[in-house]
Structure 1
Amino acid sequence: MANPARERAILHVDMDAFFVSVELRERPELRGRQVIVGAPEGRSVVLSASYECRRLGVKSAMPMAAALRMAPQAVVIPPQQRVYSAVSQQIMAVFRSITPTVQQVSVDEAFLDVTGSLRRLGAPPQIAQDIRDALRRELDLPASVGVARNMFVAKIASTRAKPDGLLVVPPARTVEFLHELPVSALWGVGRKTEETLATAGLTTVRDVAQTPVPTLTRLLGTAGAHLHDLAWGIDDRPVSPHREEKSLGAEETFARDVDDPERLHSELLRLAYRVAERLRGIGKNAQTVAIKVRYEDFRTVTRSRTLVQPSSSAVTLARAATDLLDALLRPGDRIRLIGLRAENLTAEKGFQLSIDRADANWEQAQQAMDRIKAKLGGQVGPASLLDGRRRGGGCEGAQ
């Protein structure tokens, strides 16, 4: 009896240098040149780089100063996040015109299960090319597509198809394709795992596939059996159109290192309001609050705390984050980045267990702020944060 997973047709579509590609639509004279998207001043990081820059070693998340040393002729374009978000929605609409089974992974990539579209639209390679053509025709954007029998192999294929390419891995050639790859191609193999496998003489996917599961388990624990499955191309997870947010966060990179605890407390409160508003927007509450602190020497530390009750109150998030920070800071510490993240999200709501209604009153006030901002726009929040000063360089994200 055939394995149903082998009969699936899965596409992974990944836009090429997405932010840069969007910008080049308005500035076609920059095509073929070194282009970086990111804030040009302060301690910002690279959000996206053209392939002309990437060939010089420039990568996303690299400090802008380092990127410009590698590519001194690069044109730096400030980001337009609202534009990218709007274009992302147009991209996903193209995907959903092909199949309803679309799992958006990020602003510029998604998995598509086109198994149910084969009779209507043709073979998987044709569907993949039709998508690439539609993105070019309708949005003037390049994309790379991987086609395979499962998500894992499709993702590897799209990466190897870049830039602006299409790679099809037929089901019968899946194992052959994988076994020629380095072990780092396996999902879950980071630097430390790669080093552990290398000490055992395992440097390719073929090596992992031919190693007994008990041996891999002794090396890697429970992850060993999973890596063995991946090495044989086994990945039966379905493409899920409904992606639940696992965490929400925001962070700030300071223009100059900060050693004032009060300034850091104020920044945590600001971040807490940003995160709490987004939590309420998706109807979620945080069970855990985490902070990230990066020191002047780039040493990065994280700490987390579980709340007594799940909450979407900015005051509750800020209080927990401030306690974590105060337990971490030492006199003389200089901080270049601080972040706050809401984790273990749930739709459950905590119950007020004490007669002190302060937290409940704060949350009701924040919900009122949400309604005012939705109706009238503008800034609404604590007076201590409405000073009009731009703190500079911050970014936020969800996973």
Structure 2
Amino acid sequence: MNTNVPHNNYRKIIHIDMDAFFASVEQRDNPELRNKPIAVGYSGNRGVVATASYEARKFGIHSAMPSSVARRKCPELIFIDTNYEKYEAVSKQIYEIFQEYTDIIEPISIDEAFLDVTENKAGKLYAVDIAKEIKQKIRERLNLTASAGVSYCKFLAKIASDWKKPDGLYVIHPTKAAKFISNLDVDKIWGIGPVTTKKMHNLGIFKGEQLQNMPLQILSREFGRMGRVYHDLSNGIDNSPLEPFRQRKSVGCELTFEKDTCNTEEIYSLLNYLARNLEERLEKADFRGHTFTLKVKFHDFKQITRSLSCSCPYLYREEILSVAKEILKSIPYEANPIRLLGVCISNSIYKPKSYPNEYLQLTLDF
């Protein structure tokens, strides 16, 4: 594959994704943890794995897995409590490297971002050269590895960064995009989850090539307005802009489950994890909000949000978990499995002393 992105009208987009970020930081800082299966997260009965090292992933351990399940899969698994203050400090260093090349940065999470380097501070012609330099600087300055994807749009840059993990670099050239997408399983295309995948299969669509050849009229009939989205993405059309930092008016986090579930015990376990995470985020951001919002996305991608406001700000895990459970009681999920839960605090009437890395608001998207 020719990895030289031409200097023409195409955008030059890089997606950077740190490899097992939390776990890699812990292994870097503690030599005794290197080359061992570790999980970052809460190890208690209702604990959930936030990040697993690559050594742990060999045992089938993954993010959002209940800690009890992870321990059964790997009795030698080492649990490390999350240290968001440390991770945010490292994340700030990573973003400082990004800013050496461009100010058009869309943060996805604490360890992941899109960069538009069409016009870049280094004056480099090829985006792949910038991606190589960023990876090298992250390794040399921080002793960590990152995977990078390069293409002309966000959709393909994201797929490219996942292609050769860990420590990968992959480029999807504009002239190679259609062929690359044609070989993808349809569930690799943005917005196509388990339910849509099944519907695609029923229509005889298993690969990108079959989706490319499906008339737009049929896709629109079967999938509504998303039919146009699937049609465009399968043909390499993605004009979505990068959205740089805007001051946030809320603090939240969410979990996309590895498998959809309607098991109440498992859902409560994940809510507990989210509540602990949100408590830490509120403290770090020095944020006080009076409105709590629970977001629930079901297996069919239908989504609802329910909010509850209080005269006193929501600050602590116990009250966050309590109100989340109370709201959840009003949501019928027994026959409608949940694929994502999100919790958020907003409606602040308190002015924080500072806004440390607000654009790095953690979104736990597993």
Interval of TM-score (by shorter of Structure 1 and Structure 2): 0.7 to 0.9
Q: Give 1:161 deviation, angstroms.
A: 2.0
CA distance in 2, matches of 1:155, 1:41: 34
Q: Larger Rg: 1 or 2? A: 1
Q: Give 1:186 deviation, angstroms.
A: 0.7
Hey, what does 2:293 align to over in structure 1? 289
CA distance in 2, matches of 1:49, 1:79: 12
- Structure 1: tracts of 5 or more residues without a match: 252-256, 259-268, 293-301, 331-338, 350-362, 375-395
* 1:199 partnered with 2:198: no
Hey, what does 2:268 align to over in structure 1? none
Hey, what does 1:333 align to over in structure 2? none
Q: Which amino acid aligns with 1:50?
A: S
Selected match of 2:102 from 88, 99, 102: 99
Hey, what does 1:38 align to over in structure 2? 41
CA distance in 1, matches of 2:191, 2:328: 32
Question: After the TM superposition, which residues 9-48 of structure 1 pair with which residues of structure 2 at under 5 Å, given as runs?
Answer: 9-48=12-51
8 Å CA contact retained: 2:28, 2:34: no
CA distance in 2, matches of 1:82, 1:277: 10
CA distance in 2, matches of 1:80, 1:139: 17
Q: Which amino acid aligns with 1:181?
A: L
* CA shift digits 1:22-52 (9 cap, x unpaired): 0111223432222221223332111111112
8 Å CA contact retained: 1:5, 1:236: no
8 Å CA contact retained: 2:102, 2:121: no
Selected match of 1:225 from 223, 228, 240: 228
Q: Give 1:72 deviation, angstroms.
A: 2.0
Question: After the TM superposition, which residues 120-131 of structure 1 pair with which residues of structure 2 at under 5 Å, given as runs?
Answer: 120-131=123-134
Q: Give 1:275 deviation, angstroms.
A: 8.6
CA distance in 2, matches of 1:24, 1:85: 16
* CA shift digits 1:264-316 (9 cap, x unpaired): xxxxx99999898899849x885x83377xxxxxxxxx974467xx999527x
Q: Give 1:218 deviation, angstroms.
A: 1.6
Hey, what does 2:173 align to over in structure 1? 170
Hey, what does 1:157 align to over in structure 2? 160
- Structure 2: tracts of 5 or more residues without a match: 1-6, 255-263, 266-274, 297-302, 332-340, 355-361
CA distance in 1, matches of 2:66, 2:117: 39
Provide closer, same or farther for how the CA distance between residues 118 and 201 of structure 1 changes in structure 2, counting only shifts above 3 A: farther
Hey, what does 2:136 align to over in structure 1? 133
Selected match of 1:8 from 3, 11, 19: 11
CA distance in 2, matches of 1:20, 1:277: 22
CA distance in 1, matches of 2:104, 2:312: 35
Aligned length in residues: 316
**3-state SS of paired residue (2:343):** strand
Q: Give 1:329 deviation, angstroms.
A: 7.2
8 Å CA contact retained: 1:103, 1:241: yes
CA distance in 1, matches of 2:277, 2:128: 45
Hey, what does 1:49 align to over in structure 2? 52
8 Å CA contact retained: 1:14, 1:144: yes
8 Å CA contact retained: 2:138, 2:144: yes
* CA shift digits 1:68-96 (9 cap, x unpaired): 22222222222211101111111111111
Q: Which has the higher contact order (CA 8 A, sep 6+)?
A: 2
8 Å CA contact retained: 1:5, 1:150: no
Provide closer, same or farther for how the CA distance between residues 125 and 248 of structure 1 changes in structure 2, counting only shifts above 3 A: same
RMSD: 4.0
* CA shift digits 1:167-226 (9 cap, x unpaired): 011111111111111001111011111111111111111111110111111211110111
Hey, what does 1:314 align to over in structure 2? 313
CA distance in 1, matches of 2:36, 2:249: 38
CA distance in 1, matches of 2:124, 2:223: 43
Provide closer, same or farther for how the CA distance between residues 153 and 110 of structure 1 changes in structure 2, counting only shifts above 3 A: same
8 Å CA contact retained: 1:146, 1:161: no
CA distance in 1, matches of 2:191, 2:326: 30
Q: Give 1:113 deviation, angstroms.
A: 0.7
CA distance in 2, matches of 1:157, 1:270: 33
8 Å CA contact retained: 2:39, 2:52: yes
8 Å CA contact retained: 1:35, 1:49: yes
* 1:237 partnered with 2:240: yes
* 1:328 partnered with 2:333: no
Report the TM-score when normalising by structure 2. Answer: 0.73
**3-state SS of paired residue (1:47):** strand
Selected match of 1:113 from 116, 138, 161: 116
* CA shift digits 1:324-361 (9 cap, x unpaired): 9279379xxxxxxxx88348x68xx9xxxxxxxxxxxx
CA distance in 2, matches of 1:147, 1:58: 29
Structure richer in helix, relative to its length: 1
Provide closer, same or farther for how the CA distance between residues 118 and 169 of structure 1 changes in structure 2, counting only shifts above 3 A: farther
